[in-house]
Amino acid sequence: MADLPEGALMQRAAAGLAYAIIDFLRERGRGGAYGSRVALLVGSGDNGGDALYAGAILARRGARVEAVLLSDRAHEGGVAALRAAGGTVASGGVSTGSTSGGTDVVVDGIVGIGGKPGLRAEAEAALAMFEGAPVVSVDTPSGVCVDTGEVDGSHVSADLTVTFGTYKPCHLLDPAASASGRVELVDIGLDLPAPSVESLEAEDVAALVPRPAPDGHKYTRGVVGLRVGSATYPGAALLAVSGANTGLAGMVRYVGTAAEWVKRHNPEVVGDGQAQAWVVGSGSADGANSALAFARASGVPLVIDADSLRALTGPLGVPAILTPHAGELAALIREDRADVEARPLHYARLAAKRYHAVVLLKGRRTTIASPDPATPVRVNTTGTSWLATAGSGDVLGGLIGSLLAAGLAPIDAASAGAWLHGAAATLASAGGPVTASGVASAIPAVIRSLPAVSPRSR
């Protein structure tokens, strides 16, 4: 900011915001700015200024724009620009009705990244005036906790959030991510620090996925072992093996009561022996404790899921990835499930520190925390709501195990596995229902579709 003329970043943000709103209006059949009715809800912060300058651009393009000021400290330059462009300004948080006849879009410029969770009464009242109208939030939905993704009290639920420079944690982490709607990033030329939260994209995953060396063989590519399933849940073994047996590891071993079923469906899978990583817990029922004890004694990295999570009492002494859903994590750390769902970032970090393991907390936005506090938490954004189906977690565990056996660090195996799993679900679903078996079958196709990377970048 010190290197740029005063107001330059705000003008960049406002221009990006205005054109995003125009596109949004077109998507909704309005044809763009001309003739549209736009209401700006403006607080005292800079994002209120962004909204006002964006409103001026819209007004110059033929939109009927009204700014409802929720503070007597609204950005003076923005207010003047809007008036000069033909927009109207209402003080005291009450609309003058200049956008009467139905508001086509409400622009949420109430509070920005410095705001506290929850909305003040005047903001709630202003939103109520435009109930039912679609909402575009400036930078973040007002009322959410920007740095943690938590919500506490009332907040805006946006259809679209236009953010600047970089995504914020609240765009990635639930429950605030659910309130962000679709998020569109506008690059305004910021020089950004290292993140505390990040999300992998296709290029990142492509650089992580292990590729066979020209002189490689099945042992150098990694051997993954699975001690999962039981007489009660033989299907869990089949699904976990199908997640592991996608070609990412050189060999898959299975040990358990479902061996006959597994080999019938996966003739490549072999029996007991040494492995570079073990997967335990999925559908293991009464055998979960012994499976964990054996795998732990082997001294190799572990993926611990489902029933074996209940046997944990503290750090394992070997690299490990825990893969609980919210209920399982709540039981593991003796917290209420609703609290875990409300604060996934906090509790994933807490569990990772307590068990000195990578914790992959499953959910709509899977949250992956390392025991190293300096390592950014990763949030997975791939997937579809159709993925909420029985057995999908078993497939994920096997997939992560194969990446771990192939040599990826636990944080990379967990986050790349979650990304591939979600992308495979989207591919297999094609907008409709999908089964866990279908997800496993789609994993190789997703890997083939990843962008090419040079050996130097991997």
Q: Is 378 annotated as a binding residue?
A: no
Neighbours of 431 (CB within 10 A): 8
Convert the pLDDT of each residue in 2-15 to its tens digit. 777 888 999 999 99
Q: Is 438 annotated as a binding residue?
A: no
pLDDT of residue 367: 98
Q: Is 211 annotated as a binding residue?
A: no
- Residue 362 is classified by DSSP as -
* In the predicted structure, residue 203 carries a pLDDT above the cut 80: yes
Answer whether 106's CB lies under 8 Å from 41's CB: yes
Helix %, strand %, coil % for the chain, to 5? Answer: 40, 15, 45
Same fold, 8-193 and 202-457: no
* In the predicted structure, residue 202 carries a pLDDT above the cut 70: yes
Average per-residue pLDDT in the chain? 95
pLDDT of residue 93: 84
Distance CA 23, CA 46 (A): 23
- 172: closest CA among 192, 145, 133? 145
Distance CA 427, CA 410 (A): 25
Q: Is 393 annotated as a binding residue?
A: yes
Residue 101 pLDDT class (50, 70, 90 cuts): low
Q: Of 58-67, 95-104, 218-227, which range is least confident?
A: 95-104
Q: How far is CA 334 from the centre of its chain?
A: 25
Convert the pLDDT of each residue in 319-342 to its tens digit. 999 999 999 999 999 999 999 999
Estimate the crossing angle of helix 410-429 against helix 392-405, to 10 degrees. 140
For the domain spanning 202-457, the CATH number is: 3.40.1190.20
As a whole number, mean pLDDT of residues 256-271 equals 94
Kindly give, in sequence order, each residue whose CB lies less than 8 Å from that of residue 303, ignoring residues fewer than 6 positions away. 277, 278, 279, 280, 320, 321, 323, 397, 400, 401, 404
What percent of the chain is modeled with pLDDT above 70?
A: 98
Q: Is 62 annotated as a binding residue?
A: no
What angle (nearest 5°) sits at the alpha carbon of residue 70, between those of residues 65 and 75? 70
CATH code matching the domain that covers 8-193, chosen among 3.40.50.10490, 3.40.50.10260, 3.40.640.10, 3.40.50.300: 3.40.50.10260
Query: What's this model's pTM, rounded to 2 decimal places?
Result: 0.94
Q: Is 363 annotated as a binding residue?
A: yes
Token pair belonging to 235:
């299907």
Q: Is 314 annotated as a binding residue?
A: no
Give me the residue spans of the domains in the chain: 8-193, 202-457
Convert the pLDDT of each residue in 45-65 to its tens digit. 899 999 999 999 999 999 999
Q: Is 283 annotated as a binding residue?
A: yes
Distance CA 228, CA 407 (A): 21
Residue 126 pLDDT class (50, 70, 90 cuts): very high
* In the predicted structure, residue 359 carries a pLDDT above the cut 80: yes
Distance CA 436, CA 88 (A): 55
